[in-house]
Structure 1
């Protein structure tokens, strides 16, 4: 059972008046299909429409059948699914594949036809959650997770094939690429007005779901950049399939994330190999392959360990031995994914707990204006903040903002909503004033969870700790209980997240086994916000050259309006406030909203 559910929740109750927003698609026949024609379902007649079905893609962060959506979530993406997959397929021998691809003759036996290459990516917020739980540093929590997923004392101790994950990637490395590309996107939007102002973060799937289903006027503002999770999936599947000569369907990618909504993101049809495979290798007769096959959360990681019979606290807090992991097949990509030593880019309270998109973008602009300073002003609550870049003379060069939490997001959306036409005296002046409600910002970082990603719905909660830890340690942590207990717990998680880069435990011996590249200290490139921008761009150029796919297809995605009854008057004439009830239902279920 998913950690988000309890027996009391399993009533499969759909609240009256809360619309299920799964649209019934009745598309024209293929021979009549014109890809350049825009049509709506009321203009397309179908004699026998197929029955509507509800899947994870339609439901997770939506406004309707919360319990039904969770049932789909459990069946499609859960820790049980991870174990079933590991036990159903033998693991690909990457060393043999690499030798075969390079023309080396050896004595390895042929690969089974149904073999899979298992890879994983882990977010820093998950490591922070485990660090707070076990009282260790964020870096050691990363080693704990790596040992569990890849090491000989982790998942490999059981199952039919004793499988584990061949590669475990830190999504912080792909986050660097997202930050660099995000800064470029904003700079281009300023120079060419290629996007409506302000540009809005698109890495939070709960926020994207809300925008697509309830506020289509927001879509032109959204960044088209993929999230670190999605970019990790595209990079791993495209590079490994190309360098090892295997199909993307033979690579199974697990993402460990702080948020249940990330399961929704993984199921988007835009995030499959259909969107980036070269046309000459694309087989439309085969089903699309997801870039991320399964997402589990921090709490589900604990359930995964429990079901396999592994005690996380007993695992070595050091990297997996080189003998237990084959080298990554491309050296340049390996140096990027597994840097040596394992250093971290800046994590600070100023940058926020959700990747620091806003902070990197304004820091990039600051680097172009010597002598400028960044001013931060708190908004109406702790989850709203305004950032201003001021020149040496005090002139405002750029304004950005951070909006975390659903209630604050609603305020932002209202500011950006186009004003209705009116013929009343002075209407034009009022419309002009209201239209500028949010447009003074160049960029807004939007996250659905109050407190940001460290407070994701799938993170370990204080009430879970007593059952996880030994009796004395569990009581010690839970005894901070008070009306503010969960806030105090979140502070511990934030401390682990922000203290990561000041951790002094990174010795030369404690490095990822695959890394053999230069250190950050050896880099001669300009560094912005702790990120070597030129180095990241070189890696991206190499990726494009290696897989022979344009960066536009690899690193960017699209969004679309989803027709819905949410927020509209019902036929009964009752003007129900769906938005408030959506927030209440999602909050009770532990989701991002």
Structure 2
């Protein structure tokens, strides 16, 4: 008997653990009649076949975010979940509601619709439709505005804020860790013993130190480990290594299965959620709108971003609205093309990008009106690269570090292509000042978790991403198969998308973006203010699990 072509298995080598069956209770009506058989056709549709041979097509079961009980039985690196509350259908519904509001002259239900597009999505479309990233940005802006969207922005802009805040948070933690004895002061002179001068240099970095006011979370490391592992008090403000927080798949995994890891995770929001804060608060205030009068959609390479947007941490009780109302993936946007009678993006019209939250400037080389700009670093956002060069400068006064070009640091691949180490040393002495790593895919994440759990991690900072190859290979990205281009092997396809991520994009350090300085001053009241921490940082919550009764799981 042949299997249905609709049934496929993938990424088996990256599966975390044997899955529990989904435990959402489903009402089943019982009758005295003998039940029929279930038939699956070539398209993957299911039919109930009664005893008389008649067939009834069965409805597809869906599960919403509120149905998910976080049992951790369905976590993979490229998780695809049917999330009915966040889809293009919801966007269509809001746009239809706006049209009716205008036609009836009842603007009480009208909402300003804003779409924010990730650079990874832009790269995915550029690779498939053989366009430049700037062309894709203009074409997507044209497409969404043709549907009735008011503004289209670029999350590269909010990524600059995320990078800056992550760098500042790391320096805060590092100095606290030195002051509290969590870390041994580095040996700046290359002599045998550490000196008080070295400790002072690491603590102050030769500059005036802002007094940090981070959340304090204390946890006993080793409490869930074997009895021979020591229980060590871990405080968020000095926990090392600091682990990047931009990947919601990794955050979900840590909260559900490794609560003791939470103090190590950076409290800086992801670029998606920082964009949500900016759109609903800063942009809204400029338009004279309350947050609930704006409908904010993010286009992302990852289905887990839907889960991130749904977190209660990013919900306003005052205005009864989320910072990001809806997340749709790259593949869902492409599906929208067909639903609107458009099958080939290359024939779309183009319009200039909206000013404001778009990382675009006039090209200083060619004089072109608009050219995309972005931070250097890998296609997952460049967190490792930026935090390394920022920390080298702020803590040790070392300028000119370039991880991409291996200038001033040693870069090496460890075990596999998804695990890299980057080391900053005292010039000429071999003394390690900073040791960073990038761990992609759950196989590498599990190894990292074990090292941190036992206190054996040699790293100061780790960029953690759930998907192998990172965000550029997110589960919501366009696939390397289709009618419009020649099929290529997966690795080749990822290389193409990665190349498009950088194609025609001018690299610029986040601190060189003059608009960010203005945002900190006008919107947040400064760099280290209470409002800046409220808008740019967040917290995490361990999920209690009950293996005897999975229905008792609590958020």
Q: TM-score, normalised by structure 2?
A: 0.69
**Would you say 1:169 and 2:187 are equivalent positions?**
no
CA contact (8 A) 1:128 1:493 kept: yes
> Which structure carries more strand by proportion?
2
1:152-551 matches, within 5 Å, as 154-155=146-147, 164-193=148-177, 194-274=237-317, 282=318, 288-311=320-343, 312-319=345-352, 334=356, 339-340=361-362, 341-347=370-376, 351-367=377-393, 368-370=397-399, 373-393=408-428, 394-418=430-454, 435=455, 437-438=456-457, 440-463=458-481, 465-466=482-483, 469=484, 474=485, 477-478=486-487, 480=488, 485-501=489-505, 529=509, 531-532=511-512, 536-545=516-525, 550-551=531-532
- Counterpart of 2:535 in structure 1 is 554
3-state SS of paired residue (1:411): helix
Aligned equivalents of 2:256, 2:276: Cα separation in 1: 25
Aligned equivalents of 2:120, 2:372: Cα separation in 1: 16
1:559-578 matches, within 5 Å, as 559-565=540-546
In structure 2, relative to structure 1, the CA distance for the partners of 1:88 and 1:62 (3 Å cut) is farther
Q: What's the offset of the Cα at 1:17?
A: 6.7
CA contact (8 A) 2:438 2:462 kept: yes
3-state SS of paired residue (2:84): helix
CA contact (8 A) 1:92 1:116 kept: no
CA contact (8 A) 2:435 2:461 kept: yes
Aligned equivalents of 2:80, 2:447: Cα separation in 1: 32
Q: What's the offset of the Cα at 1:59?
A: 3.3
Q: What's the offset of the Cα at 1:81?
A: 2.0
Aligned equivalents of 1:375, 1:17: Cα separation in 2: 39
Q: What's the offset of the Cα at 1:531?
A: 4.1
CA contact (8 A) 1:229 1:255 kept: yes
**Would you say 1:79 and 2:88 are equivalent positions?**
yes
CA contact (8 A) 2:298 2:324 kept: yes
CA contact (8 A) 1:336 1:539 kept: no
**What is the CA RMSD across the aligned residues, in angstroms?**
3.4
> Which structure carries more helix by proportion?
1
Aligned equivalents of 1:450, 1:290: Cα separation in 2: 30
- Counterpart of 1:133 in structure 2 is 128
3-state SS of paired residue (2:435): strand
Aligned equivalents of 1:407, 1:389: Cα separation in 2: 26
Q: What's the offset of the Cα at 1:190?
A: 0.7
CA contact (8 A) 1:61 1:261 kept: no
- Counterpart of 2:221 in structure 1 is none
In structure 2, relative to structure 1, the CA distance for the partners of 1:60 and 1:202 (3 Å cut) is farther
Aligned equivalents of 1:65, 1:402: Cα separation in 2: 24
In structure 2, relative to structure 1, the CA distance for the partners of 1:59 and 1:541 (3 Å cut) is farther
CA contact (8 A) 1:248 1:289 kept: yes
3-state SS of paired residue (1:550): helix
Aligned equivalents of 1:500, 1:81: Cα separation in 2: 33
In structure 2, relative to structure 1, the CA distance for the partners of 1:60 and 1:489 (3 Å cut) is farther
Report how many aligned residue pairs link the two structures. Answer: 421
CA contact (8 A) 2:19 2:74 kept: no
Aligned equivalents of 1:363, 1:545: Cα separation in 2: 26
CA contact (8 A) 2:131 2:346 kept: no
Q: What's the offset of the Cα at 1:65?
A: 6.2
The unaligned stretches of length 5 or more in structure 1 are: 1-5, 10-14, 23-52, 94-108, 156-163, 275-281, 329-333, 419-434, 503-519, 521-526, 572-593
CA contact (8 A) 2:161 2:516 kept: yes
Aligned equivalents of 1:137, 1:266: Cα separation in 2: 29
Aligned equivalents of 2:452, 2:505: Cα separation in 1: 36
CA contact (8 A) 1:90 1:114 kept: no
Q: String of CA shifts for 1:392-442, please: whole Å, max 9, x gaps.
A: 224321110000001110111111114xxxxxxxxxxxxxxxx2x21x211
- Counterpart of 1:579 in structure 2 is none
Q: TM-score, normalised by structure 1?
A: 0.65
Q: What's the offset of the Cα at 1:20?
A: 5.6
1:4-153 matches, within 5 Å, as 8=7, 18=20, 55-56=64-65, 59=68, 63-64=72-73, 73-90=82-99, 112-150=107-145
Aligned equivalents of 1:302, 1:54: Cα separation in 2: 22
Q: What's the offset of the Cα at 1:259?
A: 0.4
Aligned equivalents of 1:71, 1:315: Cα separation in 2: 28
CA contact (8 A) 2:65 2:83 kept: no
The unaligned stretches of length 5 or more in structure 2 are: 9-16, 25-61, 178-236, 363-369, 402-407, 550-555
In structure 2, relative to structure 1, the CA distance for the partners of 1:137 and 1:343 (3 Å cut) is closer
